[in-house]
A and B are shown apart, each in its own frame.
Chain A
Amino acid sequence: MTISDEQLNAYVDGELGAEDTARVAAAIAADHDLARHVAEISALKVALPQIIPGTPDINLARKNKGESLGFATPSFRIAAAAAALMAIIVTGSVSYTMFHDSDLFENAVAVHDIWTKRNTADGHYVRSEDLGVFAALNLSSAGLMLADRADLMLDGYQAVRLSFIGSRGCKVSLFAIDGIPNLSSNHENNRNLRSQSWKTEVHTYLLLGYGMDEARFAILAKALSQFSETYDPFNLHVEQRLASSRAESAPCNA
């Protein structure tokens, strides 16, 4: 009688029919090695569930709309663009508000601060394939070049940071947050900090930067909020507004 390893494992797993089960059981009873091997398989089967860490708290209410901001694959880009388009269809437009809330905002500011204190002019290379839905985002008309991209968690929310640096000292970070948290902050004590946020149905965006002319910052935020609706490149009108607002404003480090 020949018992294959597959059959022996299936026997332990209770996957054999009655006839085969009886046949394997008889073989095991008559063969010490076979019996020992069945014991080994059974021991593994019992032990394996114990090696998995305990399940952490999964907050199902945290975010129930939208995709992860993984941005890693073309399929996700399509899904995210579709989600954004759906948001526009449903809501008519993205909501666009000044932004004021606590921990998440403060964390984002801290992340931006850390980035600005690094040597941001070291030519950090951002791979185009890592940009996902932001591949078409080009702020060169605003005098800003993409300098860094990072995945991060902000107060429990998955997010992506895109940081831009300008030729006149401006440094701004765009946070794309996977979810729709309630935001507020008390950053009025730092008048030099500019911040603006907006939401689609599935994502929250936050733009941060220090020292930028208020009107220029507002135009930049408006352009980015429009971009977040479709992820399409800016049209000529937007490009011109970004360029003129830069030309008309003082440098960020003035």
Chain B
Amino acid sequence: MPKKERLEAQLDGLFAYAFSLSRNRDMAKDLVQDAAERALRAKTVPEDTSQYRVWLFKVLRNVWIDNWRRRRFEVTSEDIPETTVTDTRHEEKRVIDSIALQRAYLDLSEDHRAILSLVDINGMTYEEAAETLSIPTGTVMSRVARARRILCSQLLETDNVTPLPLSRRTNLGTKKR
């Protein structure tokens, strides 16, 4: 597949990751643009699709660290999509206020946004996420769990939202039978 077409197939995922890092739509677009240009200039790229994706996300992360991180924007109302997410995957219909979820997500630390972007939004395996972020797989595992735990607790603290049926257990980590 030509270089450009390979890249185009990854743009949605790259944008989602860029938005997670920058928390701003315009900045995310520029970030993807810069990363795409850097990727297109590369003389060699991984042949394997999974490795190529990991490599692309690493390129974007490097661009973010090199050029953009200091110029992050505040989240503005235009970044909040006016949609409601309906999840019918489980027996009980769950309605999640996507605005509250987005705010809670964007309030997470950069590390936590990044890991959830890679695993939940881009569907990476822990191994791929670990390679993208240059951290051990075990760290991915603990970071994913911690990020979701914080996200859940922030949603619980939001009053004006139809909540997820979250339990208020203080220790989610250990259950004894």
Distance of A86 from chain B, by nearest CB (Å):
11
With A15-B126, A43-B87, A45-B120 known as contacts, the answer to whether A10 contacts B11 (CB < 8 A) is no
B116-134 contacts to A (CB < 8 Å): 116, 119-121, 125-126
Q: Are A34 and B175 in contact (CB under 8 A)?
A: yes
Would A44 and B151 count as touching, CB distance under 8 A? yes
**Interface pair B98/A70, CB less than 8 Å apart:** no
Evaluate contact between B66 and A5: CB separation under 8 angstroms. Answer: no
Beyond A51-B81, A58-B36, is A73–B67 a contact (Cβ under 8 Å)? yes
Binds B, one of A61-69, A141-149, A213-221: A61-69
Q: Does A9 contact B (CB under 8 A)?
A: yes
Complex-state Cα separation, A62 to B30, whole angstroms: 12
* Residue from A5, A56, A63 with most neighbouring chain B CB atoms (10 Å): A5
| Contact A6-B142, Cβ < 8 Å, known A51-B102, A73-B66, A158-B30 | yes
B29 close to A64 (CB less than 8 A) = no
Would you call B126 and A64 a contact (CB within 8 A)?
no
Chain A hits for B98, CB < 8 A: 47, 50-51
Among residues 48 to 84 in chain A, which have CB atoms less than 8 Å away from a CB atom of chain B?
48-53, 55-56, 58-60, 62-68, 70, 72-73, 75-76
- Whether a CB of chain A sits under 8 angstroms from the CB of B41 is yes
> Who on chain A is nearest to B69 by CB?
A72
Per-position contact with A for B22-45: 1 when CB-CB < 8 Å, else 0?
Answer: 000100011011101110110000
Q: How far is the CA of A2 from the CA of B15 in the complex (A)?
A: 39
Q: Is A31 in the interface zone, CB < 8 Å from B?
A: yes
Contact with A along B44-84 (1 / 0, CB 8 A): 00000000000000000001001110110000000101010
Chain B residues with CB under 8 A of A6:
141-142, 144-145, 173
Decide yes or no whether A193 CB sits under 8 A from chain B.
no
Binding site for A on B (CB under 8 A): 4, 7-8, 11-12, 15-16, 19-20, 25, 29-30, 32-34, 36-38, 40-41, 63, 66-68, 70-71, 79, 81, 83, 85, 87, 89-90, 92, 94, 96, 98, 101-102, 105, 116, 119-121, 125-126, 141-142, 144-145, 148-149, 151-152, 164-167, 169, 172-177
A-B contact pairs, 17 of them (CB 8 A): A2-B176, A6-B142, A10-B126, A10-B144, A15-B126, A27-B177, A42-B89, A43-B89, A47-B96, A53-B25, A53-B79, A55-B15, A56-B15, A60-B7, A64-B41, A72-B70, A73-B70
